[in-house]
Amino acid sequence: MNGAAILARLRSIALSWALPVFILLAWEVAAKTGLITARLLPAPSSIAAAFWRHLLDGSLLEHTLISTSRALKGLLIGGAIGFAFGVINGIWRPAETIFDSTLQMLRNVPHLAIIPLVILWFGIAESAKVFLVAIGVLFPIYLNTYHGIRTVDRGLIEMARVYGLSPLDVFLRVILPGALPSILVGLRYALGIMWLTLIVAETISASSGIGYMTMNAREFLQTDVVLLGIIVYALLGKLADFVTRLLERWALSWHPSYRPAGAAA
Amino acid sequence: MSSTVLAFDRVTNLRGDRTAEAGVLAGERSAARVGEAIRFEGVRKSFGDREVLRTLDLDIPAGQLVAIVGRSGGGKTTLLRLVSGLALPSHGRVLVGGREVNGLQPSVRLLFQDSRLLPWQRVIRNVGIQRRPNWRETAEEALAHVGLADRARDWPAVLSGGQKQRVALARALVSHPRVLLLDEPFAALDALTRTEMHELFSRIWQEHGFTTILITHDVAEAVALADRVLVLRDGQIALDIPIDLPRPRQSVGSAEAARLQAHILGKV
């Protein structure tokens, strides 16, 4: 890259950041001059201050860790069940006949609609949140695993059989890698649902976690903390998405459309 | 034995005078012919009500290269699947090397129209798909044998159509097949690449001596490669003629080749 190209690139980066920076500045000025009520929408600087305060007293980290651990537990449980059903139904017809229509029916129940039932069953214990997340991520993982396995090139499976690969080898070396692009799409989709479910569950019933922190702050009219919680959720979602992208790039490096630009051929 | 032949051939490849050496190699190998005879005894195959092959009797001696031409739906692919054990006859029996085929045959290998390489494995791992002991070395030898020694670390996605078919051929060679079945493996290639593949394949066939059934739509290809051409029409053999042209054959056919082609085309 030569000097002019770097300059042009910097210019385009600067241009794309111009509007957000302008909005932030305008917001700050408007809040400080009383044009908007700070109680309803505090200035960015006071959100930053709230961030610093909660970081120093350790509560931000604690709540974030609790939320993340709930999210990951739910993902692990729901994802494992969805993956298992996807694999079994994908490779074994009788299982598909028995389970698929039931799963498709359950899928149509909005999982957030069962929150009252979940509270009746589990109260507001940890298991309630983990259960909801697990139900939420189960279906995207199931559907995409099942679909991925079903659409693996039959010719490749036949070839592997002709070459004498054992059924386990056919699964591990042909079916699973062939289904992986679809499974990872399901995972990304599931991560979105994971955070969404957790936000709702923590907001409704919790005594810790980011959702609790924001609801608690609402009671004391600490709007800056509410906004901080929203931003933390957004960052956690972004982080999860980033990690899956890395995973995709690593696992699908053979795939022409996942190869980083410039490395082709 | 075969590994020394492979190594020897790699040297000739480097020197670039393949055709001169190929004859010597073929002569050397003739003592250890590996091909197995194929025999169809009253074979019928139907799918539901549709009879694809009707009472087929056929003898293919060990080491012969037979081309089968015919229109789509004439039962050509079914015939190959019966030899490979991917399908079983409804009536009659198929014998390979004197044994009745009742399942997949480790001595029989198939090349398909699409190369069927695993896109998520590099070329070398595709060739060594069976993971036998020393698979890496044998896979490297086989790749060198088809002239692709330098592509071992590539993903299949970056190879051209002809290169993919050569990798598929190398993968088949690794297991020392006694019968190699070709289901239009050259059909999707451009004319120049196809001619190259014809030369490469006849050289390898002459060295190894496996029995080959080649399915093709292309009558010129059948005459250029085969010892014998069968025309399969409506599940029956409509023509069975030997091709007694000297090898190595020219890519541009002689007058005799043209006459044979016209004769076969009349029966398709």
B112 touching A, CB under 8 A?
A: yes
Indicate the domain borders of chain B.
2-267
Identify which of B47, B83, B106 has the alpha carbon closest to the alpha carbon of residue B214: B83
Query: Using 50, 70 and 90 to split pLDDT, how confident is the model at A68?
Result: very high
> Which of A64-68, A77-81, B255-259 has the largest mean confidence?
A77-81
A11 touching B, CB under 8 A?
A: no
Q: What is the pLDDT of residues B146-163, one digit of tens each?
A: 989 899 999 999 998 889
ipTM of the complex: 0.79
Identify which of A59, A152, A164 has the alpha carbon closest to the alpha carbon of residue B103: A164
- A254 CB neighbours in chain B (<8 A) are 119-122, 155-157
Q: Let me know: does A173 contact B126? Beta carbons within 8 Å.
A: no
Q: What is the pLDDT of residues A144-154, one digit of tens each?
A: 999 999 999 99
- Mean per-residue pLDDT for A54-80? 93
Please tell me the predicted confidence (pLDDT) of residue A259: 63
pLDDT at residue B265 tops 80: yes
Identify which of B96, B76, B74 has the alpha carbon closest to the alpha carbon of residue B85: B96
Can you read off the two tokens belonging to residue B194? 């196809």
Please tell me the predicted confidence (pLDDT) of residue B26: 40
Written as one letter, the residue type at A173 is: R
Query: Using 50, 70 and 90 to split pLDDT, how confident is the model at B33?
Result: low
Find the helix packing angle between A176-204 and A210-219, rounded to 10°: 20
Residue contact A265–B86, C-beta within 8 A: no
φ, ψ (nearest 5 deg) of residue B234? 50, 40
A147 touching B, CB under 8 A?
A: no
Whether residue A11 lies inside any domain: the answer is no
- Mean per-residue pLDDT for B93-114? 90
Please tell me the predicted confidence (pLDDT) of residue B233: 87
Residue A232: which domain range?
46-257
Residue contact B157–A255, C-beta within 8 A: yes
For residue B111, the distance in angstroms to the closest alpha carbon of chain A comes to: 9
- As a whole number of angstroms, the distance between CA A172 and CA A86 comes to 15
Whether residue A138 lies inside any domain: the answer is yes
B86 touching A, CB under 8 A?
A: yes
Written as one letter, the residue type at B7 is: A
Q: Let me know: does B225 contact B185? Beta carbons within 8 Å.
A: no
Q: What is the pLDDT of residues B193-236, one digit of tens each?
A: 888 899 999 999 988 899 999 999 888 888 888 999 999 988 88
Can you read off the two tokens belonging to residue B181? 């079945």
φ, ψ (nearest 5 deg) of residue B238? -95, -20
B142 touching A, CB under 8 A?
A: no
Whether residue A23 lies inside any domain: the answer is no
Lowest mean pLDDT segment, chosen from A216-220, A255-259, B83-87? A255-259
Query: Using 50, 70 and 90 to split pLDDT, how confident is the model at A262?
Result: very low
Please tell me the predicted confidence (pLDDT) of residue B252: 60
The three-state secondary structure class of B107 is: coil
Pick the more confident residue, B12 or A206.
A206
Residue contact B130–A255, C-beta within 8 A: no
Minimum Cα–Cα distance from B108: chain A residue: A162
pLDDT at residue A264 tops 60: no
Whether residue A184 lies inside any domain: the answer is yes
Q: What is the pLDDT of residues B164-194, one digit of tens each?
A: 999 999 999 998 899 999 999 888 888 888 8
Number of domains in chain A: 1
Alpha helices in chain A (DSSP H): 3-32, 44-56, 59-91, 93-107, 115-122, 126-150, 154-162, 167-170, 176-204, 210-219, 223-251
Percent of chain B residues past pLDDT 90, beyond the cut: 41
**Largest Cα span, chain B:** 57
Kindly report the average pLDDT of chain B as a whole number: 83
* Domain B2-267: which CATH number of 3.40.50.150, 1.10.8.50, 3.30.1330.200, 3.40.50.300: 3.40.50.300
Whether residue A209 lies inside any domain: the answer is yes
Pick the more confident residue, B244 or B5.
B244
Q: Which helix (H) or strand (E) holds B256?
A: helix B255-267
Can you read off the two tokens belonging to residue B16? 């670039």
Whether residue A7 lies inside any domain: the answer is no
- As a whole number of angstroms, the distance between CA A132 and CA A74 comes to 7
Interior CA angle at A135 toward A230 and A151, to 5°? 110
CB pairs under 8 A between A and B: 48
Please tell me the predicted confidence (pLDDT) of residue B10: 40
Distances (CA, A) of B147 to B15, B117, B130, B173, B213: 12, 17, 21, 13, 23
Can you read off the two tokens belonging to residue B94? 């198929």
Whether the bond between B248 and the residue before it is cis, its omega within 30 degrees of 0, is yes
- Mean per-residue pLDDT for B33-38? 86
Q: Let me know: does A90 contact A103? Beta carbons within 8 Å.
A: no
* CATH number of residue A230's parent domain: 1.10.3720.10
